[in-house]
Amino acid sequence: MNKNRQKIVVVGLGYIGLPTASMLATKGHQVLGVDVNEAAVNTINSGKIHIVEPDLDILVRSAVNSGNLRASLVSEQADTFILAVPTPFKTGAGGAQKIPDISYIETATRDIAPYLVEGNLVILESTSPVGTTERIGQIIAELRPDLTSSRVSTQNSTSVHIAHCPERVLPGHILRELVDNDRIIGGLDKISAERARDLYKTFCNGGIYLTDSRTAEMAKLVENSSRDVNIAFANELSMICDKLGINVWELIGLANKHPRVNILQPGPGVGGHCIAVDPWFIVAAAPDDARLIRMAREVNDAKPHWVLEKVRAKAARFKNPVIGCLGLAFKANIDDLRESPAMAISRDLIKSGIGRVMNCEPNVHADFDEFPLYELAEVLKEADILLVLVDHEEFHGIDRELLKEKVLIDTRGLWR
């Protein structure tokens, strides 16, 4: 096998899998992307994309046209298999405990198991609770006892190599960060980590740091938990400042003048597939010790309810209020609705019946059918209350004259 040019199967063609598959294809690898979504597979094979990410359409079109990228519903034999499937959490008994759900990873591993041969490399990119990479080895051992690779050991030389390389990219900047960001690779053994490093070197300009799989898994969880704790501090400040009549945006700006202070910005909560999820993986692993991490999650999870109460109080001034919600994505200038606090707030407002809700989300298009979406101009014209939930670029240029007669609830500091 020529490690500089491989046949690679990428399982999962979402926000991580598709950019990764496309990047590998443009570097000369023969890449097969596998996904359960037939519409997504057909879209990619036509050289188009089913998600919003700057410049990804150009990369996918180039990769497909070169013949190096194609998509399928089923896997094939390859040199390397990359798993980039979701790792959500599920709610435990009583509704309080959040339990990691690695069923997608387990299913993906079972799906590729029949195609594995000696010398293959299996890489888990999905953010995962500690021990998941070892679980992949156990599944392969159960299904393919002919492959000695499956023994979970950091010492034994194995015939199929297994490693974890967590994604560390920011939606909206994925293509740049895939290339420029440092990567952590944790192998079940040293040779697995080294084999994965050789592959990532073909497109990654950032530093590549090798460790064991458990440390790599924990590193990604710690990165996002650290951010979650810091956001919780900002969100808690915003609620305190509202009670004390202080402009939180001005306060944070002034506090950040200190050379060793860097307070983040508050918002309506925390969303996305990482920061809103990953801390629960640590809490689930060490529930008696992860007290600060749990509290930060609870603060951030409670923020949407606080926003809803602010809207209720303002809506009580009107007989039949029209509430304009600006933004549904979990962050600015993307279409990703996963774990979005803006979506949760909009759903609850509609369900509450306190007024007519008009949602504006410029990055979500025709395939969204949960509730009606409205153009920005229409929302600005009809709304009595304007609720800023996401600071999309489209909202920055709103004429302030149009806001004079509106009740404004700005959770993003857009009109600070």
**pLDDT per position in the chain (416 positions), as tens?**
445 789 999 999 999 999 999 999 999 999 999 999 999 999 999 999 998 888 999 999 999 999 999 999 999 999 999 999 999 888 766 556 788 999 999 999 999 999 999 999 999 999 999 999 999 999 999 999 998 644 444 444 448 999 999 998 988 899 999 999 999 999 999 999 999 999 999 999 999 999 999 999 999 999 999 999 999 999 999 999 999 999 999 999 999 999 999 999 999 999 987 899 999 999 999 999 999 999 999 999 999 999 999 999 999 999 999 999 999 999 998 888 988 999 999 999 999 999 999 999 998 876 788 999 999 999 999 999 999 999 999 999 899 899 999 999 999 999 87
User: Of the residues 98, 220, 314, 331, which is catalytic?
Assistant: 220
Is 274 among the catalytic positions?
Answer: yes
Structure tokens at 277: 């999820």
C-alpha separations of 77 from 135, 163, 216, 218, 266 in Å: 21, 18, 27, 31, 47
Amino acid at 409: I
Q: Give the 3-state secondary structure of residue 323.
A: strand
- If one counts every other C-beta atom within 10 angstroms of the C-beta of residue 318, the result is 14
Nearest-angstrom CA–CA distance, 356 and 341? 19
Domains recognised in the chain with CATH numbers: 7-216 (3.40.50.720), 267-410 (3.40.50.720)
CB 337 within 8 A of CB 296: no
- Residue 147 · residue 140 · CB < 8 Å: yes
* Known catalytic residue at 7: no
Res 365: pLDDT: 73
Q: What is the pTM of this model?
A: 0.89
Q: Indicate which residue of 98, 165, 204, 274 is catalytic.
A: 274
Q: What is the three-class DSSP state of 235?
A: helix
Q: Which of helix, strand or coil describes residue 378?
A: helix
DSSP for residue 224 = H
Alpha-carbon distance 274 to 225, whole Å?
9
